[in-house]
């Protein structure tokens, strides 16, 4: 039996453990807290890329890691979106957050159902989904950072990237639904 205390699982656990720190930084009343929050979120996003890579490279893949990694991703992204909407509840920010969170819930449910019927292999992560994740992490980091950097409107650039991520999220959802199409059609007929 493999130990649950592998480097990839510890990185994933660290991502989850840093969620309250990100929330705390977001609400601190100091001029540097927004920047620290955005930078920490970016660091957390970078560790997401490394845990899967390290799991494969070190031969430390595990069912626990396969479960925890997407849970950590969804928790961190949902937390960032809720934080952002709490300070900027305009309709387009709220709609973007709802699209991203709604897609994550829907695809998670679809993956669980596909696993129950033994067809989870049809829902492999696509290139669009990987690109979406990168755009989303960069966009959300910039929105959490909030401060202009070198005269660039960081928040607005982050918002544009996050809206792009929401569009990519819908695109990747359509590809997953197409891949699951035969099973979904069979589900309707029963």
What long-range pairs does 152-160 form, CB within 8 A, spacing at least 24?
154/38, 159/93, 159/96
Question: What domain range is 45 assigned to?
Answer: 7-181
Number of domains in the chain: 1
CA-to-CA dists, residue 71 to 1, 15, 67, 104, angstroms: 23, 10, 7, 10
Whether residue 129 is contained in a domain is answered as yes
pLDDT in tens, 45-97: 998 888 777 878 887 877 777 788 889 999 999 999 999 999 999 999 999 99
pLDDT in tens, 122-159: 778 778 888 999 999 999 999 999 999 999 999 999 99
Whether residue 188 is contained in a domain is answered as no
Residue 23 predicted with pLDDT over 80: yes
Q: Determine phi and psi for 149, rounding to 5 degrees.
A: -130, 120
Q: What is the CATH number of the domain that holds 150?
A: 1.20.120.1760
Whether residue 35 is contained in a domain is answered as yes
Whether residue 190 is contained in a domain is answered as no
Cut 0.85: pTM above it? yes
pLDDT in tens, 94-122: 999 999 999 999 998 988 888 888 877 77
pLDDT classification of 176: cutoffs 50, 70, 90: confident
From 102, 93, 104, 98, select the one nearest 161 (Cα to Cα).
Answer: 93
Dihedral, CA of residue 34, residue 40, residue 46 and residue 52, to nearest 10:
-130
d(CA 35, CA 147): 7
Residue with tokens 């989870």: 120
Whether residue 163 is contained in a domain is answered as yes
Whether residue 1 is contained in a domain is answered as no
Helices 33-57 and 7-17: crossing angle in degrees, nearest 10, is 160
> At 135, is the secondary structure helix, strand, or coil?
helix
Whether residue 122 is contained in a domain is answered as yes
**Largest Cα–Cα distance of the chain, in whole Å?**
59
pLDDT classification of 188: cutoffs 50, 70, 90: low
Give the pLDDT of residue 91: 97
Whether residue 158 is contained in a domain is answered as yes
> At 42, is the secondary structure helix, strand, or coil?
helix
Helical (H) or strand (E) element with 12: helix 7-17
């Amino acid at each position: 039996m493999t130990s649950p205390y592998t480097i990839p699982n510890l990185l994933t656990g660290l991502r989850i453990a840093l969620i309250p720190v990100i929330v705390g930084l977001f609400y601190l009343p100091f001029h540097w807290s927004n920047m620290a929050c955005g930078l920490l979120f970016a660091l957390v996003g970078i560790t997401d890329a490394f845990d899967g890579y390290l799991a494969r490279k070190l031969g430390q893949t595990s069912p626990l890691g396969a479960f925890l990694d997407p849970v950590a991703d969804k928790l961190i992204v949902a937390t960032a979106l809720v934080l952002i909407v709490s300070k900027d509840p305009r309709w387009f920010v709220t709609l973007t957050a709802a699209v991203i969170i709604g897609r994550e819930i829907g695809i998670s449910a679809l993956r669980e159902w596909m696993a129950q019927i033994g067809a989870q292999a049809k829902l492999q992560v696509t290139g669009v989904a990987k690109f979406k994740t990168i755009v989303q992490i960069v966009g959300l980091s910039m929105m959490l950072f909030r401060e202009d950097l070198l005269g660039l409107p960081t928040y607005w650039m982050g918002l544009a990237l996050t809206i792009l991520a929401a569009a990519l999220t819908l695109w990747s959802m359509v590809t997953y639904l197409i891949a699951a199409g035969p099973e979904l059609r069979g589900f309707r007929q029963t």
